[in-house]
Amino acid sequence: MKIIKNMNVTERWLRIYFGAIIFLVYFVNPFPYKEWTFSGLLLIATGVIGYCPVYSLLKRPKAAPAPDSLADR
pTM, full prediction: 0.72
Could you tell me the CA-to-CA distances from 67 to 5, 39, 52, 70, 72 in Å, in that order? Answer: 15, 31, 22, 9, 8
Judge whether 22 and 40 are in contact, CB under 8 Å. Answer: yes
Per-residue pLDDT at 46: 93
Residue 4's contacts (CB-CB under 8 Å, 6 or more residues apart) are 51, 62
- Tell me: pLDDT of 4 over 90: no
**Confidence label for 26 from pLDDT (cuts 50, 70 and 90):** confident
Among the residues of the chain, which ranges form H helices? 9-28, 36-49, 53-57
pLDDT digits (tens, 9 = 90+) for 27-70: 887 777 777 788 899 999 999 999 888 887 887 666 666 665 55
Per-residue pLDDT at 62: 64
